Amino acid sequence: MSGLGPLTSRELKKWYRNPVSLLTGLIQPFFWLALFGSAFSKISAFGPTLLDGAPNYITYILGGVLTIIGLFTALFSGVNLIFDRRLGVLGRFLIAPIRRSSIVFSKIFASSARILVQVGILILAALLIPNGLEFKHGFTVLDALILIAAVMLVALIFTSIFTTLAVRITRPDTIFGVINLVNLPLLFVSYAMFPPGLMAGWLSDAAKYNPVSWSAEAIRTVVINGTLTASQMHSVELWLGGLAILATVLLLMAYFVSENEIRE
């Protein structure tokens, strides 16, 4: 996919050169943890069983917050494509002998790279704050790989969807509308923040089918338990498998749509 390298490096340059986006990216994880961690910390009072055995609420929601960070950055991955179209830069890409899909995939990869950086900062922040993240039962290399895989798959799923949408959208407000429509449902109809036991029955049922839940639960399982039992491992495999299948299908969709449908 020629063009992918230079286009991805362009995206990243635009990101790290913008002092505001860099700073907000650094501060945001602390906000998330401090606000959510304290707002919902009373949940701990219900006892560790409700928190799947997590020593504190921060440890419990880490999987959720990591997933949500990935999700929210991914939702905005198509915005730059719309601005490229508006500002005329896309015209330059379309007359170059590069694969058209590389235009879209550069956004997908750049967003994923940003998410990885945010994940690193967030874990660091969670370890630093008082009464924060605790790996009670250790944290293995395999656990780390599962954690990264889960966030990355969520990132790929939603960047694929939102960059594909941006292939034909010409107005930024259109995509902002779509983002606003889906972000809160995706967040709250999931196990990202709350244990199923605290949710209304129908909500908990619906949340089972949300990929955000799969990622949050997979990360939660490895963070809380360290070394997994066979049945825990089986659940993690199912969650990651579901995410991987969904990501593959959506990446393929992004590829074919961008190759054939991208317009100025």
> Would you tell me which residues interact with other proteins (CB under 8 A)?
2-3, 5-7, 9-10, 13-14, 17-18, 87-89, 91-98, 264
The residue among 73 and 102 lying less far from other proteins, judged by its C-beta, is: 102
User: Among candidates 103, 85, 102, 65, which has minimal Cα distance to 190?
Assistant: 65
**Please, what is the minimum distance in Å from the beta carbon of residue 202 to other proteins?**
46
Q: Which is nearer to other proteins, 86 or 234 (CB)?
A: 86
CB of 86 to other proteins, least distance (A): 10
Residue (212 or 262) nearer to other proteins, CB: 262
Q: Minimum distance from CB of 262 to other proteins (Å)?
A: 11
Q: Which CB sits closer to other proteins, 42 or 92?
A: 92
Closer residue to other proteins, CB minimum distance, 13 or 171? 13
Nearest distance in Å: CB 14, other proteins:
5
Least CB distance to other proteins at residue 106 (A): 11
Comparing CB distances to other proteins, the nearer of 46 and 256 is 256
Burial class (CB in 10 A: 0-12, 13-18, 19+), 15: middle
Per DSSP, the residues of 162-192 read HHHHHTT---HHHHHHHHHHHHHHHHHSSSS
- Alpha-carbon span 204 to 189, nearest angstrom: 7
SS3 assignment for 199-225? CCHHHHHHHCCCHHHHHHHHHHHHHHH
Task: Find the shortest distance in angstroms from Cβ 15 to other proteins.
Answer: 10
What does the chain come to in residues? Answer: 264
151 contacts 63 by C-beta, under 8 angstroms = no
**CA 117 to CA 249: how far, in whole Å?**
25
Helix (H) or strand (E) holding 250: helix 230-261
